Amino acid sequence: MNRKSRLILSIAFLSWLPASQAQQWVSKTYAYDSIMNITYGAAIDFNGAETNLQLDLYNPVCDDPEGVSRKPLVIFIHGGGILDWQ
């Protein structure tokens, strides 16, 4: 193979690769219920005022009452801003 045909094959392969993975998440995969702004505590902010700590809960809709197909659990915690770069 000469250099030109290698280049053409590489470009063809690389242009096809992202398109093969792009369609999986176009539509919503799982249905879910959400409960927004659940207050779970309070904290003092930088001005010394008390502020509520809230979370959002996303619960998958039970489409399998037998429990055969399990869904993963993802917990995302954001600790807030950076204080003193620690």
pLDDT the model gives residue 71: 72
CB 35 within 8 A of CB 56: yes
pLDDT the model gives residue 18: 64
Could you report the per-residue pLDDT of 35-57, keeping only the tens digit for each?
A: 999 999 998 888 899 989 888 88
pTM score, two decimals? 0.48
Per-residue pLDDT tens, the chain, 86 aa: give them.
688 888 888 887 777 666 666 555 566 667 788 999 999 999 888 889 998 988 888 887 777 767 667 777 788 877 666 565 55
CB 55 within 8 A of CB 80: no
